[in-house]
Chains A and B, each alone.
Chain A
Amino acid sequence: MEKVIDKTQEQLELWCSAPGIEFISKEAKEAYKKRTRRIANAIQLKKPDRVPFVPMWEYFYARYANVSCYDVVYDTEIAKRATKKTITELEPDAYQSPIFFGVGSLLDALDVKQLRWPGHGIDLNMGHQFVEEEYMKADEYDALIYDPSDFMLRKYLPRVCGNLKAFEALSPLRSLFAYWNFYPNLFAFGTPEGMEATRKLLEAGQASLNYITFLTSFAKEMNGLGFPCWNGALAGAPFDAISDTLRGTNGMVLDMYRQPEAVKETCEKFAGMLLDMAIATAKITGIPITFVPLHKGTAPTRDGKGGLLSPKQFEEFYWPTLKKVMLGLIDNGLVPNLLIEGDYTSRLEIIKDVPKGKCIYHFENVDIHKAKKILGDRVCFRGSVPMRLLALGAPQEVRDYCKEIIDVLGEGGGFIMDASMASEDAKPENIRAMIEFTKEYGVYR
């Protein structure tokens, strides 16, 4: 009889076996294996030795090390020192790559309009913020679906990158299928504006290479010290991909009423694109955890009133293609790590429909008792110490809250401790309280 292979288990086992990692000591190797095993068990709803702690620290690395957000965004040496200090002193079970660090020169080269960052429209001590606009028009769905790459190159990039505006004048690259089409179709690269834009693109390319080099060499060093990296790949909900970066909240809302079929078709297209991207990235990183941040499907109140999408819209426009992405990841042995903004208490029954022991659900806000009851035998929970508590509360309040969620969400396993979202505004003493308490109280006996 053919043995059914559990791909999730296969990929997690591979991760736990730490292939190719050069450890600085036997202790570091043991620590790495213990940590990955702890996490792999939690994900698969087995009981680990204790509750793992995997923080989404982002700019907290800068805050903890007392350097500015500007410094870490522009200087990879400072970024590396700050991140390393935080990780080695606080010892999480896995660390999140400092993915927003070291990107300053790239953003400058492109003159990115879709973002404001420290020193560029944002205080030096604050993290970047997103600028939502209608970067794609209501009547451009057909063009997007016909040739997404062409749309990105000639429509999207010129709109969101001030320095790539000249690419508007390019011919579609798909026209370059024969030598006689080369002759007239490359001229826009040759104009003074085209040459300048291309030069800026090369600059950005160099910055991108530096960024990748920074993250991979940093991961190598941290792995060697015994700290697993959490960032395997990035995906998302197709609805969000279109709403966040292309149509904007308002535009996407109107499209749901006026051209629902175009929205659905584009979500389908993006499901495939997001999946392909994630699978390709995970092959390179060798880490199965795939980040799936959810934005626009929110039901902000616990009774389900006032949501960013109605229950019906959620089931019609949001969930089907999100589920498709998740199942696609799972089929490839990857673990969707959903970060669920808002309060999803009223949507628990819908998002329950996934295979057992393959996903992580990181709720920003949820009724923990209901969540455990409805999803406890299905997914691993992550979170969710409220940022309000971490930013403004006292360490004892943090410990009390951690006790409650370990007791409820952590019962029997299937739980990873973290804050409710990125912890950039957390007080270091509160983060410390959270870690110490988890390591002490979170032990399974």
Chain B
Amino acid sequence: MAEDLVKVMADLKEEEALRIVKKRLDKGDDPMKILEDSRNAMEIVGKRFADGEYFIPDLIYSGEILKQISEMVKPKLARAVQSKKLGKFILGTVAGDIHDIGKNIVGFMLDVNGFEVIDLGVDVPAQKFVEKMKESGAPIIGLSGFLTLAFDSMKETVAAITAAGMRDKVKIMIGGGVIDEEIRKYTGADAYGQDAMAAVQLAKEWVEPK
């Protein structure tokens, strides 16, 4: 039974997944167990994405299924779930740029992979990243940008973090439509990621040094 939900959800069978969850809740199954199965399913989805078997629409759809399952399970939980988090991650689209589709997918994948994502939204001034860093002590920052103007905003954000004397306390990754390794060098960030799973992979490496 438990196996079913993982498989059905990883295969993106929405109706079937929701039906199984309802049935399990009705017969008094442990809601925590259901959430765990969902997380396992999401891990498979992430792996299939990294392998080129799944694509961005599959990520979005799996997220929608997960959201519905969480909503069904929530009322049955005795207390708020305090799952162990891998670490804090500050995320935002840099100053001047209001694009957020890519950023949101990255944030979602980080979240389901165990990071506590602090999403600052779009058009985020450099100083706001610095303030949030001080306040939260997050060890990782992710800068997103879709437009070419983001090159300079990213560079300025990295510079502001350096100016605040905090550059050695964080790892910075950048990503977005026009970002590549050359831009990584230009901005002074630590890494650039091609997609959401690359962001997850990088973040995991950074919090769990081998």
Contacts and interface: CB of A to CB of B under 8 A. Distances in A.
Interface of A: 116, 121-123, 126, 129, 131-132, 249-250, 253-254, 256-258, 300-301, 303-310, 313, 341-342, 387-388, 391-392, 424-425
B126 to A, nearest CB: 14
A254 B55 contact: no
Interface in B84-115: 96-99, 101
Contacts of A308: 55-57
Contacts of B195: 300-301, 305-306
A256 B55 CA distance: 13
Interface in B22-44: none
Given A254-B64, A257-B14, A313-B55, A306 B148 contact: no
A313 B57 contact: yes
A303 B50 CA distance: 12
B178 A253 contact: no
Contacts, number: 81
Q: On chain B, which size bracket covers the interface?
A: 20 to 34
B151 interface: yes
A307 B194 CA distance: 11
Nearest to B60: A253
A388 B12 contact: no
Contacts of B12: 257
Interface in B167-210: 177-178, 180, 182-183, 186, 194-195, 197
A342 B195 CA distance: 13
B178 A387 contact: yes
Interface in B132-165: 147-149, 151
A181 to B, nearest CB: 43
20 contacts: A123-B96, A129-B99, A129-B147, A131-B98, A250-B60, A250-B101, A254-B61, A257-B57, A258-B14, A300-B177, A305-B50, A306-B197, A310-B57, A310-B58, A313-B57, A387-B148, A388-B151, A388-B180, A392-B151, A392-B183
A129 B60 contact: no
B156 to A, nearest CB: 13
Given A313-B55, A388-B151, A425-B151, 11 more contacts: A250-B60, A250-B101, A256-B57, A257-B14, A300-B194, A307-B55, A310-B54, A310-B58, A388-B178, A391-B151, A425-B147
A425 B61 contact: no
Nearest to A424: B148
B52 A304 contact: yes
Contacts of B60: 249-250, 253-254
A192 to B, nearest CB: 34
A309 B58 CA distance: 9
B181 to A, nearest CB: 10
B52 A305 contact: yes
Contacts of A304: 52
A121 B122 CA distance: 12
Contacts of A254: 60-61, 64
B91 to A, nearest CB: 18
Contacts of A250: 60, 101
B186 A303 contact: no
A306 B98 contact: no
A383 B56 CA distance: 27
Contacts of B180: 388
Contacts of B147: 129, 425
B152 to A, nearest CB: 8
A424 B182 CA distance: 19
A257 B14 CA distance: 9
A116 B122 CA distance: 13
B55 A392 contact: no
Contacts of A121: 98
Contact of B177 (A257, A303, A309, A342): A342
For the complex of A and B, 6 pairs with smallest distance between CB atoms: A305-B52, A310-B55, A425-B148, A306-B195, A253-B57, A253-B60
A387 B149 CA distance: 10
Nearest to B146: A129
A296 B194 CA distance: 17
Contacts of B96: 122-123, 126
A303 B55 CA distance: 12
A303 B53 CA distance: 12
Q: Among A126, A131, A253, A300, which residue has the most Cβ atoms of chain B within 10 A?
A: A253
Nearest to A425: B148
A86 B36 CA distance: 60
Contacts of A116: 98
A408 B53 CA distance: 32
A11 B167 CA distance: 60
A318 to B, nearest CB: 11
Contacts of B56: 253, 306-309
A122 B147 CA distance: 13
A419 to B, nearest CB: 10
